[in-house]
Amino acid sequence: MTSSDLFARAVRVMPGGNTRSTLYIPPVPPYAASGEGAVVRDVDGHEVLDLHGNYTALVHGNGHPVIGAAVSTALADGACFGLPTRHDVALAERICARVPAVERVRFTTSGSEAVMMALRTARAFTGRTTVLRFAGSYHGNYDGVLDLGARGLTPGAASELLTVPVGDGKAFAAAVTAARGDLAAVILDLMPNRAGLRPLDPAFVALVRDVTATHDVLLVVDEVITLRLGVGGMQERYGLRPDLVTMGKVIGGGLAVGAWGGREDVMAVLDPREPGALAHAGTFSANPLSAAAGTAALDLLDEPTIARLNAYGDDLRKRVAALGYAVSGSGSLFRLLDLNGAADWWRLYRGGLLVGGNGLCALSTVMGTDTVDELERRFAAARGPG
């Protein structure tokens, strides 16, 4: 069964032949067959080094044995229950111990859901409705954070959203001051991927924290992608303590997951022991398999491991830039800014490199110095005519 065969079947049952628009590479995307460590094989027999990591989620690579064992053990007890389990308690303990701003946490099945619930929590706590986001930042599929021109977005959702340029302190402060009577939250990504994966200026981040605190507006930091950059996420680099944090990807060990958490008093609006509590459900929220995988993944992702991985990423990014690529990012995350369409993507793929369709790349802990050397060699080879 080839990728072309699978795509021919797919177009008969899914719009455009896929269920994740971000994975469509024309004319026919390659279909994965298996993965091990830093390598992915497609059904056509082609092997690539995995710099995609399912959009950064696979921080420990493909099929890590410790994570696999944790999932197998949990599955032996049952895939899911209509009761809480020890696994969600363990994962919650890990997150609260790592991220100082997260005093209480709740789980979802995706980062998009985590953002949705974080903003709903902010609205419930403040009694206000408006949310401010920064232009070019992506926070998932939730209507309340999409670009105003997004197809299918209702006028009602658009009316509750303010958008200002990222990094523009004057515009931000003016927008918060004007809307403070109805502004529930500001959502901030410290290194927004779709805005270029460039770390924000610390002075701007400090301004955002000061202005939100002054006007009693909740600051939500989106760490769905960036949590991998430090034990406490990227926020620890900035000395930042937000009111709420959204998380995903690496906290699931490769399984579906999302989470949001923050100040105890803010998260208390979800306490079902209190009258009028904000309802939050989700059949697969805190699924024991995801929670067990996430606990194992976080235990593997300790401070020395993160430091080593970030050092490899910083080194590779410099090497790739020296080859003539335009790159951005920090630590184990980087982006190819001059990846222009499918032809460039296919050139890399045929050269043995799997990257995101928008050029997003992520290293994994199964990579070492030899892998970095090989990645540099393949990037160099891919500069030639394709």
Angle between helices 303-322 and 369-382 (to 10 degrees): 30
Instruction: For residue 181, report the phi and psi dihedrals to the nearest 5 degrees.
Output: -70, -20
List of long-range contacts for 69-72, beta carbons under 8 Å, 24+ apart: 69/296, 70/253, 70/292, 70/293, 70/295, 70/296, 71/253, 71/255, 71/289, 71/292, 71/293
C-alpha span between 110 and 132 (Å, rounded): 21
Classify each residue of 9-36 as buried b or exposed e, where b means 16 or more C-beta atoms within 10 Å of its C-beta: ebeeeeeebeeeeebbeeebbbbbeebe
For residues 359 and 328, give the distance between their C-alpha atoms in angstroms, rounded to a whole number: 10
Let me know: does 270 contact 277? Beta carbons within 8 Å.
Answer: yes
Q: Is 59 helix (H, G, I), strand (E, B) or coil?
A: coil
Q: Could you give the 3-state DSSP secondary structure of residue 86?
A: helix
**Which amino acid, 144?**
G
Q: How many residues does the chain have?
A: 386
Active site (catalytic) residues:
138, 222, 249
Give the strand order in the sheet containing 258-262: 104-108, 258-262, 244-248, 218-222, 183-188, 130-134, 161-164
Residue with tokens 């232009």: 135
DSSP state letter for 62: B
**Peptide bond before 27: cis, by omega within 30 degrees of 0?**
yes
Q: How far apart are the first and last CA of the chain?
A: 26
